[in-house]
Homo-oligomer: A and B are copies of this chain.
Amino acid sequence: MQVKNIAIMGAGLVGSLLSMYLKKHGYQVTVYERRPDFRKTGNYGGRSINLAISERGWKGLQGVGLEQAVRDIAIPMPGRMVHDVQGNLMFQPYGKPGEAINSVSRGGLNILMIDAAEEAGVTYKFNQRINEINPAGTAASMEDMETGTTYTLEPDLIIGADGAYSLVRYAMLKTDRFDYSQAYENHGYKELTIPAGPNGTFLIDRDALHIWPRKQFMLIALPNIDGSFTCTLFFALEGRESFEAIKTHADLDAFFDTYFPDVKPLMPTLHEDFFGNPTGLLMIVKCFPWSHGNTMLIGDAAHAIIPFYGQGMNCGFEDCTVLNDLIEEFNHDWSKIIPAYQVARKPNSDAIADLAKLNFIEMRDLVADADFQFKKRIAAKVAAAYPDKFIPVYSMVSFSHLPYADALREYYRQDEVLSEVLTWPGVREHWDTELLPDIAQRLFNL
């Protein structure tokens, strides 16, 4: 399998990062994007939830020399700030001092990456639609949406980086033994805004990911460098308390007065945002294989997840760094690279999909739960006391490069150990003194 020309479908974050890695390896790389060039239109479209870059994401950016440029537009969030209904605040660190996840706007990051990729010699073609794609033969019939002209593309390799609704993936549906599932959550989401205060000040604490957990729904807020916060309400699509049930301005006011009284005064455009912004849907996609003939999938196209671990982009970037390593390991032999890539990544993308579902329950429900908080405190204490012997699951996912599949196994193991520890006599009084060594012994995972 001789590969010189590679077509990447999708100019999003993963497609753009991948294009730079492939370019570094000497391939001719063209990126095709259905949308217009959002650097010119100023209209990003696509999804708007802010991103939280963590360790795997940084590694991906490091490899193409973009880490510092992105750090310059990101805001570190060392922990969660939990808001209860009374307006009380509780800060829960995500990791050790110095560890943080990093808020960045999707559009800003994407533009930075496309600029860098073009500078590196990658060709971008916008307004290009896939009309039909032959997954076996590396042929795509394309349409230039500005001119209406159609043409056939015959690169040596087509890589679908075209997101959760990937057309490249949909073309694989009818190939033999292609297992596939797409499943929607009962919750959707809506973007809301807390604008900056006077002179670009932050109206709530800048250095945190804010959460208003309310059991069956939650609101989150991530800081932007201009002092504003991008907020997202995750809420049932239908039912007694749901997007569907909030029909009038009075309904909306009553809902926010009841559940989010502290944040409502900070949202002057709440009504416009709520009734004007679309309700986003959340879909989980799993499939296998991730390739067929000379076509392969990467990022959300192969494994769309829900956003509750902040790992969608980080996982997609890790796809790129793993693929990059395999290109070297197999010395550009794609007949070996592709099978090794999909076998290496599939169990890990399945695991982060599960972890993201579990974290949704944690975020909306358990962060306000006493036992949950107690377990988190124990794990944090053990991690601090024995940093060489224990890593909590959140840190494995966000601050390490350990496989997601290992993190999922650890999730279940640690939760079992900590649930048992909670039944020990005197544990509430002595967990951080005389019982700590015993607890730690049970938790060690290194």
Which residues in A have some Cβ–Cβ distance to B below 8 Å? 165, 170, 173-174, 176-184, 237, 281
Contacts and interface: CB of A to CB of B under 8 A. Distances in A.
B180 A181 contact: yes
Nearest to A181: B181
A165 B174 CA distance: 7
Contacts of A170: 170, 173-174
A189 to B, nearest CB: 14
Given A165-B174, A174-B165, A179 B179 contact: no
Contacts of A181: 180-183
A180 B182 contact: yes
A182 B178 contact: yes
Nearest to A188: B177
B179 A184 contact: yes
Contact of A176 (B173, B176, B178, B281): B281
A181 B287 CA distance: 9
Contacts of A165: 174
A177 B177 CA distance: 24
A9 to B, nearest CB: 16
B173 A177 contact: no
19 contacts: A170-B170, A170-B173, A170-B174, A173-B173, A176-B184, A176-B281, A177-B184, A177-B237, A177-B281, A178-B182, A178-B184, A179-B182, A180-B180, A180-B181, A180-B182, A180-B183, A181-B181, A181-B182, A181-B183
A176 B179 CA distance: 21
A179 B237 CA distance: 15
Contacts of A183: 179-181
Given A177-B281, A179-B182, A181-B182, 9 more contacts: A170-B170, A170-B173, A173-B182, A176-B184, A178-B184, A180-B181, A180-B182, A180-B183, A181-B181
A290 B382 CA distance: 51
A434 to B, nearest CB: 46
A27 to B, nearest CB: 31
A178 B184 CA distance: 7
A177 B184 CA distance: 6
Of A178, A181, A237, most B-chain CB atoms within 10 Å: A181
A170 B170 CA distance: 9
